[in-house]
Amino acid sequence: MRDLTPALLLALAAPAPDAAEILRRADRALLGDSAAYVLRMSVVRPGKAERVVEMKGWKKGDTLGLVRYTAPAKERGTAYLRSGESTWLFLPSAQKVVRVGARQNFGGGDFSNADIFRLSLLRDYVPTLAGQETVEGQRCHRLELLARDRSVAYHRVVWWVRADGTFYPVRGEYYTLAGKKLKWLTLSEVTRLGGRARPTRLVMENAVETGARTVLEFLAIEDDVALDDRLFTPAALERGE
């Protein structure tokens, strides 16, 4: 007992977090309640040239998200907006806001619009704690997530969250209603960004096409940014905000 540090003693004394609490803390481990970020997305397809785009994003709470392409120049201004269950696409060439579906893949990669704007897994899924496993060299909680309704992109998600108190998500697997694995996500490169450490590299691999993957890299993050709800409206997209 003498070897135990006070922090570990406190951890042992505290009640074990339940599945919902683990998922809530994992949701916030990547981005704060409101955040602004810079992201690079690379889409890799076997035998094809890699496609790279950069974007800036903003999120507020569990329902509001906005992503705007910044590079390459020909994509500049294209923006995706999410508010609740609604998703819009702004096309600068037509200066038009178009409704799109949440399950549509984002930017022709392996993330769906719902993944990019995955503002809260807890909001969309009912979590169950299914024990602990070692994944990617980390001791993790294994969470089984079942969709709260059929509007959610995936019927079932398995989510591994570090059990060392950081609650960093490490891996996710996404399944269809029929139980088929669609893709899996690996979160790595824990780096200090925006004043705190967090995973900054997300790789979504396609279970259907071998070798196909999409890499998201956070280049900058600022948490707790004051954002007006009206930034997340089609009217703001049309105005070029």
Residue ranges binding other proteins (CB under 8 A) = 36-38, 43, 49, 51-53, 56, 58, 66, 68-69, 71-78, 83-87, 94-96, 98-105, 107-109, 113, 150-151, 189, 191, 193, 217, 219-220, 222, 225-236, 238-241
Identity of the residue, 80 or 160, whose beta carbon is nearer to other proteins in the bound complex: 80
Identity of the residue, 7 or 73, whose beta carbon is nearer to other proteins in the bound complex: 73
**Shortest approach of other proteins to residue 157 CB, angstroms?**
18
Identity of the residue, 17 or 77, whose beta carbon is nearer to other proteins in the bound complex: 77
Residue labelled with tokens 């950081």: 166
Identity of the residue, 21 or 54, whose beta carbon is nearer to other proteins in the bound complex: 54
Q: Is residue 127 reached through a cis peptide bond, with omega within 30 degrees of 0 on the bond before it? A: no
For residue 146, which of 168, 130, 162 has the smallest C-alpha distance? 130
**Shortest approach of other proteins to residue 172 CB, angstroms?**
20
153, 163 Cβ separation under 8 angstroms? no
**Shortest approach of other proteins to residue 18 CB, angstroms?**
31
**Shortest approach of other proteins to residue 126 CB, angstroms?**
20
**Shortest approach of other proteins to residue 123 CB, angstroms?**
15
Alpha carbons within 13 angstroms on the beta-carbon side of residue 91 total 6
* Max CA distance (Å), the chain: 69
**Cα(63)–Cα(34) distance, integer angstroms:** 11
217, 224 Cβ separation under 8 angstroms? no
Identity of the residue, 102 or 135, whose beta carbon is nearer to other proteins in the bound complex: 102
**Cα(133)–Cα(200) distance, integer angstroms:** 22
